[in-house]
Structure 1
Amino acid sequence: MTFALTDEQNELSATVRHLLARRSDSGAVRKAVAQPPGYDEDLWRTLCEQVGAASLAIPERYGGAGFTLFETHIVLEQLGFALTPSPLFGSGVLAAQALLLTGNEEACARLLPGIAEGTLVAAVCWAGADGRWRTGRSDVRAAGGDVWSLSGSATLVLDGAIADALLVVAETGPGQAGLFEVDPADGRVRRAPTPALDSTVSLARVEFDGVPGAPLALDATGLLSTLHDIAAVAVTALQVGTAQRALDMTVAHSKERTQFGRSIGSFQALKHRMADMLVEVETARSASWAAAWSAARGEPELPARAALAKAWCSTALNKVASETVQLHGGIAITWEHDAQMVLKRAHATSQLFGQPHEHRQWLFRYLSGTAPR
């Protein structure tokens, strides 16, 4: 069996890649992250209006394009290749899928059309002070019954400082978490941007002090488990794109850089190292696509494939990024060169939604039948 992109998916990938090549080169990326909101709003508008990037995995009845998470995965891979900052991961994947998984028709009908258009940015407040996204525990507590009040804090909130809507994971009881909608304009919500190693990732700390929350799902443990898998798979798309960028940069440099009167790419030892980089990229892409296929179809293999892909792609990108720096030589550690951005992306994304060793441990427990998160 041959698994490859369809003609339509190849066209989507090529369209996004050509757009980013024109509008999101290294200079444009650096300029975008240096000022609020941390991404190019005009480029984001183009991606949403002309490509439909944020609407791909949202059903048509909610204003989306009615495709699947796999098509979104393709776009994310190209964003990863260009190192382009955007709200697609945090809002278009994490928040949109959280809403869809709740099955709350009123909230979906109200929020998803704006997310699909790219005019509304939603953020999921989830990770605790330990930097982990847990399915049955949160540093935010929900109290009440008819009226719910949320207190506590969430860290590492993607696009949290600029989001128009907040979806908050909060404990509703021992070992039980719910999902609530909170108005970010409420004075009892405090948001502070958090500096990130990867400057293209916009993170924030969000604190709640007795803030009213509208319940979207009071028992969201199962929902959050699926959402964690979807998020981990989405991260692998960014990682594969970045790994391909690193490989292409390194091969191009090896053809241009000369030593002893010949290009360094002609040396057998360096050919072997770049061949190893290619193997890392291609095997990572295979694992990532397999997991994305399961996410798009809601297959029961998703938890295992998501854990495998996140562990594999994180390790692969770290290896490829390290080799990129080594094979570029001293210029790679300068601020002006993009190799340092690739290395930072590698280290940052390997932490998002679980480190490699955590996913490997969880996968072992999953396969042995003892795998609660």
Structure 2
Amino acid sequence: MENGVLLSDEQLVLQETAASFLAEFGNARKPPSEDGELWRRLCELGWPAVQVPEEFDGLGLGAVELALLMEEMGRRLLRSPFLASVVLAQTALLHAADASARARLLPGLATGERRATLILAPGMVWAPAELPIRVRRDGAGWMLDGSALQVLDGDSADLAFVAARFDDGSAGLFEVGADAVGLERVPLSVWDETRPQSAWHFRGVRLEASGRIDTPQLLDPGLARTVAVGALHLAAEQVGGAAQCLDLSVAYTKERLQFGRPIASFQAVKHRCAEMMVKLETARSAVRGIAARVDRLDDGALQRDCAVARVLATDAYRFCAQEAVQLHGGVGFTWEYDPQLHFKRAQWGSGWFGGASAWREQVAASLLDAA
């Protein structure tokens, strides 16, 4: 039993393997030139195939296994396209795409031979009226225009699944190759360098008729579910980051001496670490518990429960990161120590998939509707 969720022997092995591998090969402090080799190693371990059904050459596992991987990746601040390609792009295909698109695209994403990203409204939310990319008919095909200013791992992706809006307000999901004529990709200089982003400018990008890959009746619920699942797995990553902040703080306060004693012996420091632990374990229990029943939740319950996990994990990570910086004293925000890296990641994550206030409103609305 782990945090209220009974993990199987296979899940425990996956968690231990991920923790051991990433402790050795994590790349937060390594040059980006080594990212390709790390991705190759992840693919050899089969991680991109975790949630892909076996019929598409995947492992056919579930949200718990994916959450365990994301938790360990968050602990080590992994810089990889896993969130964009596996968590988001694959989930969008599974829930919003037509059968032919799933059969054609999922096997390559499962092996990691191809890397994808997902483009929605700013902040990676599903809001059709706010989609920055416009689409119109162009003969038998499609024409895309507009700019997506923050695309996750957009500089390394081979393709993107782009949610675009028509003039009548409806939307569609389109497959766009990174080498498409009329597409310009501009890498961004970002505060959190462990989470690469780029701007994609669509200037008359023409697609064939087959470029639209969604099933229209599945698009709205499918992409809404994709965002909820993405928020859940980002919450798992945040739990891992919060856990590392706590571990770093405990280790440092045992070594740092003041008045001839380790500062870990001071009651005020103990209380601060204890509060970090409470927030961390509350968030971890919520994330793992919800991940264990994702497939059994209807759309409304999924939105509500993922909102709970999202709020708890976001608050826990931000709190633990800022406490880690404070408990490390003057070195807490220096390059030589990791708390500043976690602080940046925590700040970045708090604004994606909708901020915590938006998710709180969703929980409140759900509870009030039920009442």
Q: Does 1:363 align with 2:357?
A: no
Map of 1:131-280 to 2, 5 A cutoff? 131=123, 133-137=125-129, 138-144=131-137, 146-213=140-207, 214-217=211-214, 219=216, 220-280=219-279
| Structure 1 contact 70–296 (Cα < 8 Å) conserved | no
Over residues 229-260 of structure 1, what are the superposed CA-to-partner deviations in whole Å (9 max), with x where a residue is unaligned?
01111110110000000000000011111111
Cα displacement (A) at 1:136: 1.8
| C-alpha distance in structure 1 between counterparts of 2:248 and 2:16, whole Å | 19
| Structure 1 contact 127–156 (Cα < 8 Å) conserved | no
CA distance change for structure 1 residues 337 and 46 in 2, over 3 Å: closer, same or farther?
same
Over residues 269-316 of structure 1, what are the superposed CA-to-partner deviations in whole Å (9 max), with x where a residue is unaligned?
111110111001100101211332233445442110111111111111
Give the aligned partner of residue 40 of structure 1: 35
| C-alpha distance in structure 2 between counterparts of 1:223 and 1:176, whole Å | 15
| C-alpha distance in structure 2 between counterparts of 1:346 and 1:283, whole Å | 17
Q: Does 1:125 align with 2:122?
A: no
Give the aligned partner of residue 302 of structure 1: 302
Q: Which moved more, 1:259-268 or 1:142-151?
A: 142-151
Q: So what's the TM-score if we normalise by structure 1?
A: 0.92
**Secondary structure in 2 matching 1:208:** strand
Cα displacement (A) at 1:87: 1.2
CA distance change for structure 1 residues 16 and 296 in 2, over 3 Å: closer, same or farther?
farther
Which of the residues 16, 20, 39 maps onto 1:14?
16
Q: So what's the TM-score if we normalise by structure 2?
A: 0.92
**Secondary structure in 1 matching 2:206:** strand
Q: Which amino acid aligns with 1:48?
A: C
| C-alpha distance in structure 2 between counterparts of 1:337 and 1:215, whole Å | 46
Cα displacement (A) at 1:187: 2.3
Cα displacement (A) at 1:216: 1.1
| C-alpha distance in structure 2 between counterparts of 1:165 and 1:205, whole Å | 14
**Secondary structure in 1 matching 2:309:** helix
Over residues 77-113 of structure 1, what are the superposed CA-to-partner deviations in whole Å (9 max), with x where a residue is unaligned?
0000111111111001100111111242222222211
Cα displacement (A) at 1:41: 1.9
Over residues 43-96 of structure 1, what are the superposed CA-to-partner deviations in whole Å (9 max), with x where a residue is unaligned?
22222212x111010011111111112211111100001111111110011001
Give the aligned partner of residue 96 of structure 1: 90
**Secondary structure in 2 matching 1:217:** coil
| Structure 1 contact 16–75 (Cα < 8 Å) conserved | yes
Give the aligned partner of residue 346 of structure 2: 346
Cα displacement (A) at 1:225: 0.8
| C-alpha distance in structure 1 between counterparts of 2:289 and 2:352, whole Å | 19
Map of 1:315-326 to 2, 5 A cutoff? 315-326=315-326
Give the aligned CA root-mean-square deviation in angstroms. 1.8
**Secondary structure in 1 matching 2:359:** helix
Cα displacement (A) at 1:120: 0.7
| C-alpha distance in structure 2 between counterparts of 1:238 and 1:299, whole Å | 24
| Structure 1 contact 166–183 (Cα < 8 Å) conserved | yes
Q: Which amino acid aligns with 2:128?
A: G
Tell me, which stretches of 5 or more residues in structure 1 are unaligned?
none
Cα displacement (A) at 1:173: 4.5
| Structure 2 contact 148–199 (Cα < 8 Å) conserved | yes
| Structure 2 contact 279–312 (Cα < 8 Å) conserved | no
| Structure 1 contact 135–177 (Cα < 8 Å) conserved | no
| C-alpha distance in structure 2 between counterparts of 1:40 and 1:185, whole Å | 21
**Secondary structure in 2 matching 1:228:** helix
| Structure 2 contact 28–78 (Cα < 8 Å) conserved | yes
| C-alpha distance in structure 2 between counterparts of 1:271 and 1:208, whole Å | 53
| Structure 1 contact 321–343 (Cα < 8 Å) conserved | yes
Q: Which amino acid aligns with 2:39?
A: W
| Structure 2 contact 117–161 (Cα < 8 Å) conserved | yes
Q: Does 1:75 align with 2:64?
A: no
Identity %: 38
- The structure whose RCO (Cα within 8 Å, separation 6+) is larger is 2
Give the aligned partner of residue 282 of structure 2: 283
| C-alpha distance in structure 2 between counterparts of 1:202 and 1:106, whole Å | 31
Q: Which moved more, 1:317-326 or 1:119-128?
A: 119-128
| C-alpha distance in structure 2 between counterparts of 1:356 and 1:294, whole Å | 22
Cα displacement (A) at 1:222: 1.7
CA distance change for structure 1 residues 132 and 110 in 2, over 3 Å: closer, same or farther?
closer
| C-alpha distance in structure 1 between counterparts of 2:250 and 2:295, whole Å | 33
Give the aligned partner of residue 6 of structure 2: 4
| C-alpha distance in structure 2 between counterparts of 1:271 and 1:232, whole Å | 31
Q: Which amino acid aligns with 2:77?
A: L
**Secondary structure in 1 matching 2:332:** helix
Cα displacement (A) at 1:139: 1.1
Q: Which amino acid aligns with 1:242?
A: G
**Secondary structure in 2 matching 1:351:** coil
Q: Which amino acid aligns with 1:216?
A: I
| Structure 1 contact 182–212 (Cα < 8 Å) conserved | no
